[in-house]
Structure formats: structure tokens, C-alpha cells
Amino acid sequence: MGLTKSSCYLIVGIICLLLTGGCQKYEDVPGQSDPRLARKYCNDPEAVNFNFDFPGTADNSVCYYPADVFAGNYTFVDSVYTSANKIAFTTPLTLTIQAQSHGKFDLSGLCGGSTVHFTVNRTLRATADSTILNGQALCRVQDTVSGYLIRKLGDSTRMQVILTVVSDTGATIHQGTAYKQ
């Protein structure tokens, strides 16, 4: 008692009908909105707050940049050390920082009308630009300054100052903490 060819076709056809008859067309269900997408975040890699509050909606109007973090007036007691690491003297100063671009600013107030140019990165470390050999001119033609300033992201009131001044009379290190006014 064997199955004929037409019986096999009939059985296969019935099985196919039973399998496809139970299927329903997929309907896409509307997704739920994610409340996190209502937040705005900075999408500029030069900004200090790049990708903070991601995921959300990219909006570069919420960005703030390294030079902007440093900008302002500071009170600073300049502690000057000799190359032998002995304190030579201290002097109170008022430092002024003006942003020139997202990553550059000028510092004045170290001596007379001198301005020191700095380049700052996203980690809030500003390095004195080298415009001549070993730094840039400071108070006199014989003086060059090099070094850096550091801000911590969570601390908006303090800035560490570590500068080296090389002159015809030797090298001195200027360091201390400047406080934002």
C-alpha cells in the first residue's frame, strides 16, 4: 500500500495551507518615547562638556570651551623660587585671562603690560606658547616664560600656576594657587 505521487502532493499542500493559515501579517507597534532624548548635549569634540548628557538631542548651544573656563580675574600670591628651590620672595598679583578662541587665551598681570599666550586643551591644562626659544618674552627682552596653568573641572574657584622664567640673571619658578574673583 504505497502512496501515489498525487497523494503526496495533496498531503504536502494541506500541510502548507495549515502552516500559512496560522500566520498573521506583522504590525509595527509605535515605540515608547525615551525621556532621556529630551535632554540637550554638546556634540563638539573641542568642548569641555563633549557628549555630557548623551543620549539626547545634539545642541551645540550648551557647549562650553576650555578657554571660557579659564576666562576671568584672579587673585594670586606669586611665590618665586630660585633654581635651588629656595623661596626668593612672594608678591600679590591680579591676573586677567581673556579667551581668544575655543583653545587659546591671553594672561596679563604677571608684570606690567606683558601678555602671555596660552593654548588649552579639554583636560583644562593650559601651556604657555613658545614664540621664541624656550618660551615667550615676558617683562624684558632677556626674559622668557614657559610653563602651565591647571584647572580642575569640578572646581570653578582655583587655578594652579607653575611658570618658569629664564633671564640673563638665572631661572626662577613662579608657582601658587590663583583664586577666581
Predicted confidence at residue 19, as pLDDT, reads 67
Does residue 14 lie within any of the structural domains?
A: no
Does residue 99 lie within any of the structural domains?
A: yes
- Same domain, residue pair 171 and 93: yes
Predicted confidence at residue 5, as pLDDT, reads 73
- Same domain, residue pair 105 and 171: yes
Closest CA relative to residue 140, chosen from 106, 97, 169: 169
3-state secondary structure of 15: helix
Residue with the larger pLDDT of the pair 82 and 98? 98
- Same domain, residue pair 70 and 60: no
Does residue 148 lie within any of the structural domains?
A: yes
DSSP letter for 16, please.
H
Predicted confidence at residue 23, as pLDDT, reads 65
Position 32 confidence tier, pLDDT thresholds 50, 70, 90: confident
Closest CA relative to residue 137, chosen from 112, 157, 100, 161: 112
Does residue 12 lie within any of the structural domains?
A: no
Residue with the larger pLDDT of the pair 19 and 82? 82
- Same domain, residue pair 170 and 141: yes
- Last residue of one domain, picked from the residues 64, 84, 107: 64
Predicted confidence at residue 35, as pLDDT, reads 74
pTM of this structure: 0.76
Q: What percent of the chain has pLDDT over 70?
A: 93
Does residue 165 lie within any of the structural domains?
A: yes
- Same domain, residue pair 74 and 155: yes
Tell me the pLDDT tens digit for each residue of 119-177: 999 999 999 998 777 788 888 888 899 999 999 988 889 999 999 999 888 899 999 99
Range of 84's domain?
66-180
Does residue 10 lie within any of the structural domains?
A: no
- Same domain, residue pair 57 and 86: no
- Model confidence at 22: pLDDT above 80: no
Q: What is the mean pLDDT of the chain?
A: 88
Query: In total, how many domains does the chain have?
Result: 2
Tell me the pLDDT tens digit for each residue of 86-107: 999 999 999 999 999 999 999 9
- Same domain, residue pair 76 and 150: yes
Q: How far apart are CA 179 and CA 181, in angstroms?
A: 6
Does residue 138 lie within any of the structural domains?
A: yes
CA distances (Å), 30 to each of 27, 33, 35, 55, in order?
10, 9, 15, 20
- Same domain, residue pair 139 and 164: yes
